[in-house]
Amino acid sequence: MRLVLASTSPRRRDLLARIGAVPDRIAAPDVDEDVRAGETPRAYVLRVAIDKAHAVPREADEIVLAGDTTIAVGRRILAKPEDEADLRRMLGLLSGRRHRCLSAVCLIDTGGKVRTRLSDTIVAFKRLTQAEIDWYVASGEGMGKAGGYAIQGRAEAFVRYLSGSHSGVVGLPVFETRALLESAGYRLG
């Protein structure tokens, strides 16, 4: 059985390596990640992970693994920032507040069965000063990241509380991913 990772994220590859899973093939899925009207954060992140898994062609002996992560403040979904102004807006929303990081994993097994898991992590940021926001925006680290921050980088200094999966906030919850791989019969290294 061969593992296909439907992601070009180096963070997801690194997290897979922690559990002894090395993709045999990596493919970049092309999916619409726009939020649909009335879509809840949970429904959104699960839909996108499933769509990513389906977007990658699968051979008979392959399993496809895909993931998606989003940040939610209440029912508001914070996607990737469009520009620095959007990043500043997001950091302002997260400042001094709890938010949820939802990380969905989807696996399509060799028989075509779709399996999903969802990690729900509560994260609380300290109240950010304007200087801290300026420093973080200037670093460029938050661009291209759900919610505008990378917990595995400089933004970890803003986290005063976390309950759940740290790896899920990074981009792939290893506990849930391991369970999916094992349920599909994939042998971990």
Residues with a known catalytic role: 68
The alpha-carbon radius of gyration of the chain (Å, integer) is: 17
Tokens of 49: 């992970």
Give the separation between CA 160 and CA 180, rounded to whole angstroms: 30
Let me know the angle formed at the C-alpha of 31 by 123 and 141, rounded to the nearest 5 degrees: 40
How many C-beta neighbours within 10 Å does residue 135 have? 13
Please report where in the chains the tokens 């986290």 appear, as a residue: 159
Tokens of 111: 């028989």
Closest CA to 96 of 121, 78, 73: 73
